[in-house]
Structure 1
């Protein structure tokens, strides 16, 4: 059941300090959420925090990278106090580098083939939390880029039936354009960074969150040794 605040739904924590309070106590499990923003805005950090939170609660997490290799992701996260290496060793978190698989050989895969491989990995790992990062550059790596809209919608609908909670990370290149995944996903979280009076401003925005009353305004974020922290106040 659902009420205006989303209070009747069971929730799972995002792992991002301060964010759960803004979305009714956390994410509704079993749904698909989009985390988007420009390069360097904190999307990968968000995704890892989400998986670490699950690992703390014995929920297996899978990070599927379509861009960076796993070594780079791990190195970038080691300056945070996530205890990530411990969770990787215990296989509570598994990182897949799908980019190397996609670029092997002389034949580009189709969107459908890539999405079938994503499904295979998730089922094989019996994951409860999944992060897919990022579909945006995949358009240059498949042989049927014109099918992106149809296949992304199909993937989100498929993930919604698999008893997992998933974050799909995308690159936001134009802030005034909404893509198809925005409409199909249960929630859209936007990471921002911009200059204001010669200072770098970082913010987060809950653009959409089904089943939850939420504030669409920009909220201040900070990057700390414990990862991203969200404050219920304007970023300036």
Structure 2
């Protein structure tokens, strides 16, 4: 493919994410194919394409062989659209001579209308309006009228050359309801966009698209998630971290707790990622919130994406520990959002995170937890790639990312649902351990790429006064296994002296 040198200004589709994938939009004066099964969003995308042209003063023509004009306009109204006057809808119906007068038919049947008559009506309408943008819906009807692959190919070529003479940009829709193995149009058109709908075992349907062909233009390949919402189609281009970089001053992000910052060797470096790992109930969210609160106190914005906990419960629970998340949210310094993994695709989630960093200038991002994120993407290999690109992107934009992962088990051998420790720059390990008849909690830093850190293990407590860390547990062995052995002479435990 070329590098788009000397390419004319593209015809934007009206779908921002799709234009990004297409390197700006559709090449003017060419024929494009938009294919997908019924319900994948072809008509909505086509209407956006025509309305974008109308906003630029271009005439548009929607030729429909399958839907009635009333159905088309009703569909537009469902998105809050009223089609402007410079968009004309032409409903192709058979002439009276081809209808059975006795039956008083008023609907189009492929067997009733000759292909030549349909083509003549299309050309006459085009010459009367002279639009700059055309949508033909759908090719399945033309394929049935043609009745043979050769005649169908010749008809598509005739349409291509005719529209090219007038410099019109044409979008052909194909609902794949007849002979889906016929790739005739693929070789004729300038570009091919395919829309797909996937049905998971549980949760809302997932939609994705892929550009499989675009002559003379470098487009963004691969699959991209999209959603159909009121107001049109929203496309979420696949994140490529290498395309994004921002200059920023690297400095240590502190927690405002001296013992924790000492354990971390001064804090966590800006533009890096930290993984908080431990069994359920150890306070992973609380550790991440400590850094968020410190960032907001310094005047930096932050964003929290919660997968596992209802926000009302989180607000009440953390308020009793000294964090007023509602007040921080209302001040505009903190964005906090509950994410439903069953309803949100990974692409849309990445888009929301990017939005907070790019436009809201968030410097700290918390994803709580990766277990919930994994539920939105059961394929572990795909999850690793998504997390890798997202973390690399956030690092390049100067945002510090905190991810929490709940391990299986409580003490002893722990297992994680997915291993991303090699992706994170810093790994904070939380553990339960038993000492003197009580269940206690310990923290240790097992990895930090960006500098030195303490290699000790410290006990910590979470109470009404917040997070408190004790001195290094030098008198114990086996803390991380959950059942330590005391080998010292004096207890380093918080508020728990040992008798000699």
Match of 1:103 in 2: 342
Match of 1:126 in 2: 361
Match of 1:158 in 2: 393
Match of 1:203 in 2: 442
Offset of residue 80 of structure 1? 1.7
- Asked if the contact 2:262/2:453 (under 8 Å) is kept, the reply is no
Match of 2:267 in 1: 26
Change (3 A) 1:172 1:223: same
Change (3 A) 1:95 1:192: same
Question: Which shifted more, 152-161 or 53-62?
Answer: 152-161
User: Partners in 2 of 1:215 and 1:230 — Cα distance?
Assistant: 13
SS at match of 2:268: coil
Offset of residue 176 of structure 1? 6.0
Structure index of larger Rg: 2
Match of 1:148 in 2: 383
Offset of residue 16 of structure 1? 3.7
Offset of residue 14 of structure 1? 2.0
Change (3 A) 1:145 1:176: closer
Gaps of 5+ in 1: 1-8
Tell me whether 1:214 sits opposite 2:453 in the alignment: yes
TM-score normalised by structure 2 residue count: 0.41
Offset of residue 139 of structure 1? 2.7
- Asked if the contact 1:37/1:43 (under 8 Å) is kept, the reply is yes
- Asked if the contact 1:135/1:170 (under 8 Å) is kept, the reply is yes
Change (3 A) 1:219 1:143: closer
Q: Which has the higher contact order (CA 8 A, sep 6+)?
A: 1
- Asked if the contact 1:22/1:232 (under 8 Å) is kept, the reply is no
Mapping for residues 1-236 of structure 1, pairs under 5 Å: 10-99=251-340, 102-104=341-343, 109=345, 111-142=346-377, 144-173=379-408, 175=414, 180-234=419-473, 236=493
TM-score normalised by structure 1 residue count: 0.83
Cα RMSD between the aligned structures? 2.4
Offset of residue 130 of structure 1? 1.1
User: Partners in 2 of 1:73 and 1:177 — Cα distance?
Assistant: 23
- Asked if the contact 2:315/2:324 (under 8 Å) is kept, the reply is no
Offset of residue 190 of structure 1? 1.0
- Asked if the contact 1:16/1:227 (under 8 Å) is kept, the reply is no
- Asked if the contact 1:65/1:133 (under 8 Å) is kept, the reply is yes
Deviation string for 1:152-207 (max 9, x for gaps)? Answer: 22222121111111111111226366954211211000111233453111110101
Offset of residue 62 of structure 1? 0.9
- Asked if the contact 1:62/1:125 (under 8 Å) is kept, the reply is no
Gaps of 5+ in 2: 1-249, 474-491, 494-500
Offset of residue 53 of structure 1? 0.7
- Asked if the contact 2:292/2:302 (under 8 Å) is kept, the reply is yes
Change (3 A) 1:208 1:158: same
